[in-house]
């Protein structure tokens, strides 16, 4: 009888140790998995406050404009006839519609109420009360980067 | 202790070089008194556990956080939205900070009421009080780092109060703020305090505090001291108390995770030094009782400014509290009323009431 | 060296003196223009407290050389009223209403005169004025009709760009309203007097009067100012097109333009109203109760069918967009990442605006094309939203699993401790 009890106790102890060992391993795994995941940098490796990569030069033909995402805000990137790049905030200063580049008049235009901005971002015609904020564009290694001049 | 052949070999290797055996002997003999109030013995360990969680989660946050008025808030948003489990690490860090300070207070008051500060543990108490102050410093400096609206104004108000201290107040405020106002310079400084200066000082005092505890063992409550040795109940630190500690730490960890997942910490709005202060700025709860006291004081008391009187009163109270082991009033004879209990209860009740009032107003 | 220094010093001094002489000549050459403090018209009338009502010292004409005598004539240099206000010195007194356009036109219609003050200013105001109803009636001796000072005031005139001016864009509706909203005053003209009231509730009126948007149209933006004329069919639709470019272009190219002209139906105004134009609703296009299409189209005709289709396309898009907005609120409330979703929805919103503008082509295929683009973007946003909500729940599930491990470990630990202590007890 004692032997049985001893056997039970031993097997119970072994079982307990097994659970503890297993539980400990599981616990360590559930701690290390998030930690390692955390250490792996996300696709965009930094809190890109200040600049974004807009693409390769070849993606933008002259006399065209494209809307790109800059953090939370839309920015219009324009490649002028002579190949130079300019970038401006794409939110119209009148009632917040998204502006577009007009190839015919070679200016920035807002379809909502016919507001026009020149290629320096200045509001030249229509209801917009203020110019568009300008962003800096840098071209390096055939890649176009848009930088927020404020930060 | 059961050791298989592997650990045996390692142990022998180390022992030959560092004479571990006396240390192991000493540690295996450590005992903890067993009695119905022994739950308070665990409070220090929980605080230590939470501190370790802070260090680890803090290091992880360090890898992505960027101090600076232009980058702090944005890097926080990045951690919360783009970094894998960033939301979890951040919320754990914020909750653990609050829990740690809570348990520091619990630990302090429980050692007070069990009179563990008495001889020979006076310096343990003093070092503990300093650790409390450092922990509050951690809380204050860390709170600013997300650079959001509430943090900005709470820091402004808090450092304004520092500026009210006579003589040293203004220079101290300038040093804290890195200038006349709270700016990006303040943020950089607080970051330096929070990740370098305070950890270094805290660790030093912590090691001392723990060393003292290890060397002297746990204090016995009075009724136990008067019992004959045969009747006293003991528990070995290793493995019994240690395993119990581990169990409690596991539960605390689970509570922490629950809080982090179901009550995640807010990011708020980015700080704008030129915007007016939003309604309802409050310091964190652990400063609330002092803040509320200052608000209640009249503008002038005798010939001094009310705020100044409040600051001085707290400073004096703190000093008195820190040196409790040295001025303790022992009860005369069989008097049932212990002056120390009354003083302690008064302090505790004051803190609780004023903290609650602070949130109701 | 010394010689060179003394020579150059002498030359410099000589040069400076010579220039000073020239400058002094120019400065003091014309001493016939008195400053305002020497303008006796102003100083006497001010002292005696008999300045004209509404007189404002910052009036644009209150300048040396112009001021009172510039319009009323007389000699401001003399403080003797007999001399200063003598007809021999050109004093013209107060002009009658009918004389006012000429009175102002004396300067304002003369380009040679005006260009010395404002080279680019227009000088056709009086000419334009006489083409307007106001001008025509004034010629017929109507004493109630508006002339220059009715709108510009006589002695508180400011530049159009000055916010104090009665003709500053934000103030124009209130200026016109003085007559045009007064039913008693306008009784004999038999025209409506509800224009301002309607305008104040319109999209344009609310934008201008409440949001202070100077980009919003005031009365003169559609009606003209000096050549104000009641608009005919064409003038209204063209005017709307000044700002609402695409709407007008699409309409003119659409199959509706010709029938409208033939039936003498006013474009834009027919469906949107004029003074009281409200924010458009999607119910305006279609075959429902509040649609404008069924005013002419009956069930079965092509227009009816097109209206139905267009309404359906827009409505489908709008419903999807609205559902995406609801989900977005949920994502935000759960504290999950909304940046990419917001951006997509912003683009989708642009497509929605454009789709609604394309209604004016009255071509379902065009509306469908643009709405389709917008629907695609909205669906992309919804996918992201679903993902965020899923992640939110995954986090909670992950917590559940972690808790499970911890609980298992804790329970095992608890039993282990108990076990150990039983052992110890046993010895």
Q: How far apart are CA A139 and CA A145, in angstroms?
A: 6
Mutation for C interface: A107, A127, A130, most C CBs within 10 A: A127
> C251: which residues sit within 8 A by CB, 6+ positions away?
C237, C257, C267, C268, C360, C361
Candidate from B71, B78, B89 with C-beta closest to A38: B89
Q: Which residues of A touch C346 (CB under 8 A)?
A: 74, 98
Q: How far apart are CA A87 and CA A77, in angstroms?
A: 4
The one-character DSSP state at B331 is: P
Q: Does C420 contact A at CB distance below 8 Å?
A: no
The residues facing B188 across adjacent strands are none
Characterise C262 by phi-psi region: left (phi > 0), alpha (psi -120 to 50), beta (else).
Answer: alpha
In B, minimum Cα distance to A37 occurs at B84
Tokens of B104: 């520091």
Q: Is the Cβ pair B253, C406 closer than 8 Å?
A: yes
Mutation for B interface: C340, C384, C399, most B CBs within 10 A: C399
Q: Does C111 contact B at CB distance below 8 Å?
A: no
Q: Does residue A48 or residue A105 have the better pLDDT?
A: A105
| Helices (H), ranges, chain A | 2-39
Tell me the backbone φ, ψ of residue C299, rounded to 5 degrees.
-55, 135
The per-residue pLDDT for B199 is 97
Over 60: is that where the pLDDT of A94 sits?
yes
Q: Cβ distance C355 to C320 under 8 Å?
A: no
pLDDT tens sequence for chain C (427 residues):
677 777 777 777 766 665 555 554 444 444 556 677 778 888 888 888 888 888 888 888 887 778 888 888 888 888 888 888 888 888 888 888 889 999 999 999 999 988 888 888 899 999 999 988 899 899 998 989 999 999 999 999 999 999 999 999 999 999 999 999 999 999 998 888 999 999 999 999 999 999 999 889 999 988 888 887 665 544 666 788 889 999 999 999 999 999 988 888 888 888 998 899 999 999 999 998 889 999 889 888 989 999 999 999 999 999 999 999 999 999 988 888 888 899 999 999 999 999 999 999 999 999 999 999 999 999 999 999 999 999 999 999 989 988 988 898 899 888 888 888 777 666 4
Angle (CA) A74 A76 A80, round 5°: 170
In A, minimum Cα distance to C416 occurs at A16
pLDDT in tens, A112-138: 999 999 999 999 999 999 999 999 999
The per-residue pLDDT for C23 is 52
Q: How far apart are CA C91 and CA C71, in angstroms?
A: 9
The per-residue pLDDT for C28 is 46
Strands (E), B27-162: 31-33
> C71: which residues sit within 8 A by CB, 6+ positions away?
C61, C92, C103, C104, C106, C107
Q: Does C326 contact A at CB distance below 8 Å?
A: no
Q: Does C6 contact B at CB distance below 8 Å?
A: no
What pTM, to 2 d.p., does this model score?
Answer: 0.76
Q: Is the Cβ pair A47, B74 closer than 8 Å?
A: yes
Mean pLDDT, residues B319-330:
92
Chain C closest-CA separation from residue B85 CA (Å): 9
Q: Does C335 contact B at CB distance below 8 Å?
A: yes
Q: Is the Cβ pair B261, C395 closer than 8 Å?
A: yes
Q: How far apart are CA B158 and CA B160, in angstroms?
A: 5
Q: Is the Cβ pair A27, C405 closer than 8 Å?
A: yes
Chain C closest-CA separation from residue A111 CA (Å): 7
Q: Is the Cβ pair C408, A74 closer than 8 Å?
A: no
Q: Is the Cβ pair C399, B261 closer than 8 Å?
A: yes
Q: Which residues of B touch C410 (CB under 8 A)?
A: 247, 250-251, 254
How do beta strands A123-125 and A115-117 pair?
A: antiparallel
Half-sphere exposure for A30 (CA within 13 Å, toward CB):
21
Q: Cβ distance A104 to A122 under 8 Å?
A: no
CA distances from C367 to A111, C224, C292, C348, C414 (A): 16, 34, 18, 14, 69
Q: Is the Cβ pair C342, A72 closer than 8 Å?
A: yes
Q: Is the Cβ pair A49, B82 closer than 8 Å?
A: no
Chain A closest-CA separation from residue C106 CA (Å): 32
Characterise C75 by phi-psi region: left (phi > 0), alpha (psi -120 to 50), beta (else).
Answer: beta
Mutation for A interface: B78, B79, B88, B246, most A CBs within 10 A: B78
> C133: which residues sit within 8 A by CB, 6+ positions away?
C145, C228, C229, C230
Q: How far apart are CA A136 and CA A148, in angstroms?
A: 6
pLDDT in tens, B160-180: 988 888 889 999 999 999 999
Q: Which residues of A touch B63 (CB under 8 A)?
A: 39
Q: Does C412 contact B at CB distance below 8 Å?
A: no
> What is the number of H-type helices and E-type strands within chain A?
1, 10
Tokens of A5: 């009890």
In A, minimum Cα distance to C402 occurs at A30
The per-residue pLDDT for B57 is 97
Q: Is the Cβ pair B257, C396 closer than 8 Å?
A: no
Mean pLDDT rounded to a whole number for chain B: 90
Candidate from C242, C402, C415 with C-beta closest to A16: C415
Mutation for A interface: B57, B82, B92, most A CBs within 10 A: B82
Q: Which residues of A touch C409 (CB under 8 A)?
A: 20, 23-24, 26-27
Q: How far apart are CA C327 and CA C337, in angstroms?
A: 12
Chain B closest-CA separation from residue A44 CA (Å): 8
> A78: which residues sit within 8 A by CB, 6+ positions away?
A64, A65, A85, A86, A87, A88, A101, A108, A119
> b/e for B148-187, b at 16 or more Cβ within 10 A?
bbbbbbbbbbbbebbbbbeeebeeebeebbbeeebebebb
Chain position carrying tokens 């010292």: C57
């Amino acid at each position: 009888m004692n032997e049985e009890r001893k056997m039970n106790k031993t097997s119970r102890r072994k079982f307990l140790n097994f659970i503890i060992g297993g539980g400990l391993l599981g616990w360590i795994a559930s701690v290390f998995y998030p930690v390692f995941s955390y250490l792996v940098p996300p696709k965009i490796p930094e809190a890109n406050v200040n600049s974004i990569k807009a693409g390769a030069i070849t993606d933008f033909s002259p006399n065209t404009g494209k809307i790109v995402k800059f953090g939370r805000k839309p920015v219009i990137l324009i490649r002028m006839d002579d190949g130079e790049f300019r970038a401006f905030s794409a939110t119209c200063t009148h009632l917040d519609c998204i502006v577009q580049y007009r190839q015919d008049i070679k200016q920035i235009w807002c379809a909502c109420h016919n507001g026009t901005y020149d290629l320096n971002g200045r509001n030249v015609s229509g209801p917009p009360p203020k110019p568009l904020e300008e962003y800096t564009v840098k071209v390096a290694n055939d890649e176009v980067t848009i930088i927020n001049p404020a930060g | 202790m059961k050791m298989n052949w592997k650990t045996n070999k390692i142990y022998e290797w180390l022992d030959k070089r560092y004479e571990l055996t006396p240390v192991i002997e000493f540690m295996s003999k450590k005992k903890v008194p067993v009695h119905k109030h022994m739950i308070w013995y665990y409070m220090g360990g929980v605080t230590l556990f939470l501190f370790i969680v802070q260090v680890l989660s803090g290091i992880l946050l360090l890898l992505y956080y960027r101090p600076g008025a232009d980058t702090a808030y944005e890097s926080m948003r990045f951690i919360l939205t783009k970094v894998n489990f960033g939301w979890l690490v951040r919320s754990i860090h914020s909750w653990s900070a609050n829990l740690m300070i809570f348990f520091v207070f619990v630990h302090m008051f429980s050692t007070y009421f069990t009179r563990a500060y008495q001889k020979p543990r006076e310096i343990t108490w003093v070092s503990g009080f300093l650790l409390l102050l450092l922990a509050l410093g951690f809380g204050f400096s860390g709170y600013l780092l997300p650079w959001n609206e509430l943090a900005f104004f709470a820091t402004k108000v808090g450092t304004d109060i520092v500026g009210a201290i006579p003589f040293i107040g203004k220079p101290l405020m300038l040093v804290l703020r890195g200038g006349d106002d709270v700016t990006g310079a303040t943020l950089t400084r607080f970051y330096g305090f929070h990740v370098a200066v305070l950890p270094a000082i805290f660790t030093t005092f912590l090691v001392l505090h723990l060393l003292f505890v290890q060397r002297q063992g746990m204090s016995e409550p009075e009724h136990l001291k008067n019992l004959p040795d045969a009747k006293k109940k003991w528990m070995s630190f290793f493995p019994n108390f240690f395993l119990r500690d581990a169990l409690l730490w596991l539960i605390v960890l689970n509570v922490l995770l629950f809080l982090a997942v179901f009550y995640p910490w807010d990011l708020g709005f980015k700080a704008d030094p030129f915007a007016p202060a939003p309604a309802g700025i409050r310091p964190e709860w652990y400063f609330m009782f002092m803040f509320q006291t200052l608000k209640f004081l009249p503008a002038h008391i005798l010939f001094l400014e009310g705020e100044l009187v409040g600051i001085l009163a707290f400073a004096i109270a703190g000093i008195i509290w820190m040196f409790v082991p040295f001025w303790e009033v022992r009860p005369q004879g069989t008097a049932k009323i212990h002056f120390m209990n009354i003083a302690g209860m008064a302090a505790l009740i004051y803190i609780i009431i004023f903290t609650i009032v602070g949130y109701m107003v | 060296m010394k010689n060179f220094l003394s020579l150059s010093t002498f030359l410099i001094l000589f040069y400076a003196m010579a220039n000073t002489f020239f400058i002094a000549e120019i400065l003091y050459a014309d001493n016939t223009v008195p400053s305002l403090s020497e303008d006796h018209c102003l100083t006497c009338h001010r002292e005696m407290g008999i300045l004209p009502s509404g007189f404002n010292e910052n009036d644009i004409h209150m300048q040396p050389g112009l001021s009172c005598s510039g319009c009323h004539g007389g000699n401001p240099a003399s403080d003797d009223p007999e001399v200063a206000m003598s007809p021999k010195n050109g004093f013209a007194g107060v002009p009658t209403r009918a004389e006012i356009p000429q009175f102002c036109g004396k300067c304002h219609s003369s380009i040679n005169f005006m260009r010395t003050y404002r080279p680019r200013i227009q000088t056709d105001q009086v000419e334009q004025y006489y083409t307007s109803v106001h001008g025509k009636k004034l010629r017929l001796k109507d004493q109630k009709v508006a002339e220059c000072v009715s709108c510009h005031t006589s002695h508180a005139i400011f530049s159009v760009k000055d916010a104090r001016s009665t003709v500053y864009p934000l103030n124009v509706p209130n200026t016109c309203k003085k007559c045009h909203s007064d039913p008693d005053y306008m009784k004999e003209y038999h025209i409506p007097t509800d224009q301002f009231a309607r305008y104040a509730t319109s999209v344009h009126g609310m934008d201008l009067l409440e949001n202070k948007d100077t980009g919003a149209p005031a009365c003169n933006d559609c009606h003209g100012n000096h050549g104000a004329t009641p608009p005919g069919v064409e003038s209204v639709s063209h005017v709307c097109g000044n700002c609402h470019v695409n709407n007008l272009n699409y309409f003119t190219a659409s199959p509706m333009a010709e029938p409208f002209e033939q039936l003498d139906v006013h474009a834009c105004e027919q469906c949107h109203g004029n003074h009281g134009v409200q924010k458009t609703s999607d119910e305006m296009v279609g075959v429902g109760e509040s649609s404008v299409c069924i005013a002419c189209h009956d069930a079965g005709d092509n227009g009816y069918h097109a209206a139905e289709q267009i309404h359906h396309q827009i409505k489908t898009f709008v419903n999807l967009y609205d559902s995406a907005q609801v989900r977005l609120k949920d994502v935000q409330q759960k504290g999950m990442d909304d940046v990419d979703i917001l951006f997509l929805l912003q683009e989708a919103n642009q497509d929605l605006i454009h789709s609604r503008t394309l209604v004016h082509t009255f071509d379902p295929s065009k509306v469908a094309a643009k709405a389709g683009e917008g629907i695609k973007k909205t669906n992309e946003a919804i996918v992201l939203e679903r993902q965020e909500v899923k992640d939110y729940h995954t986090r909670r599930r992950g917590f559940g699993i972690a808790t499970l491990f911890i609980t298992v470990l804790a329970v095992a630990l608890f039993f282990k401790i108990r076990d150990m202590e039983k052992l110890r007890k046993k010895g």
